[in-house]
Amino acid sequence: MKTKQTYNLNIGPTHPAFKEPVKFNFEVDGEQVVKADIDFGYTHRGIEKLAMSRNFIEVIYLLERVCGICSVSHPMAYCLAIEQAAELEVTPRAKYIRTILGELERLHSHLLWAGVAAHEIGFDTLWMYTWNIRETVMDLLEVITGNRVNYAMLTLGGVRRDITDELVPVVYEVLDYYRSLYNRVSEILMGDKSVQLRSEGVGILSHVEAVELCAVGPTARASGLSRDVRIDYPVNAYPDMTWLKPASPRDIGREPVGDVYDRIVVRTLEILQSIEIIEFCLENMPEGDIATETNSIKIINKLKKVQGEGIGRYEAPRGEVAHYDLLDNRDGPALIKVKAPTYSNAPAWVPMLSGAEIADIPIIVASIDPCIACADRMSFTKPNGDNYILTSADLHKMSVEKTREVSRTCTL
């Protein structure tokens, strides 16, 4: 009797589909994944330990380096945790500026992701298009903060730079630009037949699995969860936006199934949502100071007298970022624990990838918008010990060929 033989397939720890090194071990039957396993630890930088040797202000700017894309979100969660533990007040104007910065970050992050996802399925025109229009929001961030990434805008009790009256029309101009493009962008991302064929029914994460695995952000919302820290546990200016609802595929009349397409839908809808939030903030921005205290030494001296703990939670573009901070009469935090959204969403790869085709691995992995880096090869290992290598170009080629194949079969 002929027995069914499966193969072990390793991808990573470095691969073009990943933005940070991570290794996947797949058991495959022909072109189909039977079982998936993830191996982390190739890029652990020890930032939590390092933060424990710095003062409260220095840590803000260290934590921006946890993730270049989420360089508002991590310091935000940290500041919220410290402010909670020490009962520090944040000025009303700073709350609105923080919200605007966070939403500009979401805007550029979702456009970045759209480009990455498009590239993974061989739709390089869309990749170039989204990354080209993303430049405008990056330029705006540079005008407001002085930097394209790692903005150094937050401080404990407020922000470090104002959005002045002169800057407001510049922000509106950028928002108008994105509003004018939104229909075109959403039509391509949600309506293009080849995008649909490569993403519908692919990489499914069911509602139950998303709840059990504590998935967050667009990944959770695409599986039908109405989970969004901006609504469930709002901070900054979000409590003022009682009209805000978590984005859902239901908004376009589609019942969420938790596939890659639903994740595309949620992120696309959130581009428009971010524009609306920023407009709301500009219209309702309170006057006043941008920070309760601008002297860093005074802030540190005040925090040195505090013993306590706090948890800061913020909805980053990829999902919930949370920080736990412990204060213990020191000039810096006695303990910091950091959670990035990928930490929550990575376990969801296992059910998403089980049963998937090899050619779908790049788009499924990219669909949670992971924070993982590039690489160059993957290898198949046969049970008898023989290896053969597929280069990154091979894997990408397989994905592109699949797009072409399904495009040929679709009737436009």
Partner 1 sequence: MKNSPEGVAKSLKETFGEDITGVRILDREEGVHEKVLQRGLWITMTRRVFHRAIQLLKSKYGQPHICCPMASKEYDDGIELIYPFTLNAGAGYMKEFTLTIAVFLPMSDLRIRTITDIIPGILFMERETREMLGVWFEDIPDERRLYTPDYLADDNFPLRNDFSDPHVKEEEIPGESK
Q: Which parts of this chain interact with partner 1 (CB under 8 A)?
A: 40-41, 44, 46, 48-49, 84, 87, 92, 95-96, 211-215, 220, 225-228, 231-240, 242, 246, 284, 286, 309, 311, 313, 320, 322-324, 326, 335, 337-339, 343-344, 346-347
- Give alpha helix (H) positions in 3-152: 47-51, 56-63, 73-86, 92-120, 124-145
CA distance 341 to 13: 20
Residue 87 and residue 117: Cα distance in Å, rounded? 42
Q: 228 vs 360, which CB is nearer to partner 1?
A: 228
CA-nearest of 40, 122, 60, 9 to 373 is 40
Considering beta carbons, is residue 168 or 208 the nearer one to partner 1? 208
Return the number of the residue (131 or 324) whose C-beta is nearest partner 1. Answer: 324
SS3 65: helix
Using DSSP's 3-state secondary structure scheme, residue 291 falls into: strand
Q: Between 58 and 309, name the residue whose CB sits nearer to partner 1.
A: 309
CB of 329 to partner 1, least distance (A): 14
Find tokens 């405008």 and name the residue. 136
Q: Give least dist CB 150 to partner 1, A.
A: 23
The CA–CA distances, whole Å, from 271 to 94, 111, 262, 394 equal 23, 8, 15, 33
Q: Taking the complex as a whole, how short is the minimal distance between the CB of residue 200 and partner 1, in angstroms? A: 24
Nearer to partner 1, 82 or 126 (CB): 82
Q: How far is the CB of 75 from partner 1 (least distance, A)?
A: 16
**How far separated are the first and last CA of the chain, in Å rounded?**
46
Structural contact between residues 127 and 192, judged by C-beta atoms closer than 8 angstroms = no
CB of 93 to partner 1, least distance (A): 9
Residue 157 vs 234, nearer CB to partner 1: 234
Please report how close the Cβ of residue 198 comes to partner 1 at its closest, in angstroms: 28
Residue pair 219/345 in contact (Cβ under 8 Å)? The answer is: yes
Residue 131 neighbours by CB distance under 10 Å: 18
Collapse the DSSP code of 279 into the 3-class scheme (helix H, G, I; strand E, B; otherwise coil) and give the result. Answer: helix
11 versus 348: smaller Cβ distance to partner 1: 348
Query: Cβ(122)–Cβ(403) under 8 Å?
Result: yes
Minimum Å distance from CB 87 to partner 1?
Answer: 8
